[in-house]
Amino acid sequence: MSIAVKSPLIAQLTDSQQAKLTSAGNNIAPTWPLDKMIAVNPFWQMREQPIEQVSARVSALDRIQCLMPKGYYQHLYAQGDISQHALLLAAEQQEVAMSVDQLEAFLDQADDLTHFHNIADLLDNQRDRYKMAWRDEIIHQISQFCAAYYQQLRPILPCRDSSAQPDLYCHWLEVTGRDRGLSIIMDEPGLLHYFKQLPQDAPTLLAEAVAELGIDDTAIESYAHALLLDINGWASWVAYLRWQGDLQATPSDEMLQLLAIRMAWELVIWRYLKAQQADSFIHLAALWMREKDQLPHLLTQHEQAQQPLWVWAKAAELSYQHKLNTQLLNAQKHPITAPKLQAAFCIDVRSEVIRRALENQSDDIQTIGFAGFFGLPIEYQPHDSELSRPQLPGLLQPIIRVSEWRDTQAQTDTLNSKARWQTWSQAAPSAFSMVESMGWLYAFKMLKKSFFAKQTHNPVNALTHQKSWILRKNDQLLSLTDKAELAKGILNAMGLSQFSPTVLLVGHGSHTTNNLHAAGLDCGACGGQTGEVNVRVLAQLLNEQDVRKALLDLEVVIPSTTHFVAALHNTTTDHIDCFDTDIDPVLVSWLTAATETAQRERLVHISPELAGSSAAELDRFYIQRSNDWSQVRPEWGLVNNAAFIVAPRSWTRNVNLQGRSFLHDYQWQNDADFGVLELIMTAPMVVTNWINMQYNASVSDNVKYGSGNKLLHNAVAGHIGVFEGNGGDLRIGLSMQTLHDGQKWMHQPQRLAVYLAAPREPIEQITAKHDNVRWLVDNQWLYLLRWSDEGVIERYYQGQWLPQAA
Binding residues for Zn(2+): 346, 348, 508, 523
User: CB under 8 Å, gap of 24 or more: what pairs does 576-585 form?
Assistant: 576/354, 576/504, 576/506, 578/504, 579/465, 579/467, 579/532, 579/535, 579/536, 579/539, 583/502, 584/502
**Three-class secondary structure of residue 803 per DSSP:** strand
SS3 state of residue 570: strand
Angle in degrees, CA 112, 282, 284, rounded to 5: 35
Could you give phi then psi for residue 804, rounded to 5 degrees? Answer: -115, 140
CA 143, CA 732: separation in Å to the nearest integer?
13
Q: Residue 691 contacts by C-beta under 8 Å, 6 or more apart in sequence? A: 39, 524, 638, 641
C-beta of residue 308 within 8 angstroms of C-beta of residue 741:
no
Which residues on adjacent β-strands are paired with residue 713?
724
CB-based contact 494:541 (threshold 8 Å) = no
H or E segment at 533?
helix 532-543
Q: Helix, strand, or coil here: 731?
A: strand
What strands, in cross-sheet order, belong to the sheet with 341-346?
Answer: 365-370, 341-346, 502-509, 563-570, 575-578
Helix%, strand%, coil% for the chain, nearest 5: 50, 10, 40
Residue 765: Cβ within 10 Å count: 13
Q: What's the angle, vertex CA 777, arms to CA 774 and CA 781, rounded to 5?
A: 120
Longest Cα–Cα distance of the chain, Å, equals 89
Is the distance from CB of 573 to CB of 623 less than 8 angstroms?
Answer: yes
- Measured CA to CA, the distance from residue 489 to residue 484 in angstroms comes to 9
The 3-state DSSP class for residue 23 equals: helix
- End-to-end CA distance of the chain: give it in Å, rounded: 74
Single-letter amino acid, residue 647: A
Distance CA 264, CA 732 (A): 24
User: Rounded to an integer, what distance in angstroms lies between the CA atom of residue 119 and that of residue 289?
Assistant: 11
Give yes or no for a contact between 510 and 349, defined as CB atoms under 8 angstroms apart.
no
Q: Count of alpha carbons within 13 Å of 124, Cβ hemisphere only?
A: 13
Binding residues: 346, 348, 508, 523
> Cβ–Cβ contacts within 10 Å for residue 800, how many?
8
Pairwise CA distance, residues 432 & 434, whole Å: 5
The beta strands (E) that lie in 641-698 are given as: 643-646, 661-664
Q: Which residues contact 133 (CB under 8 A, 6 or more apart)?
A: 124, 127
Q: Which residues sit opposite 721 in a β-bridge?
A: 716
Distance in angstroms (rounded) separating the CA atoms of residues 31 and 694: 11
Q: What is the 3-state secondary structure (H, E, C) of 332-363?
A: CCCCCCCCCEEEEEECCHHHHHHHHHHHCCCC
Angle CA(445)–CA(451)–CA(455) in degrees, nearest 5?
75
Please state, in angstroms and rounded to a whole number, the distance separating the CA atoms of residues 507 and 576: 9
Contacts of 166 (CB under 8 A, 6+ apart): 158, 159
Surface-to-core class of residue 546, CB atoms within 10 Å of its CB (0-12 exposed, 13-18 middle, 19+ buried): exposed
The Cα 493–Cα 352 span in angstroms is 19
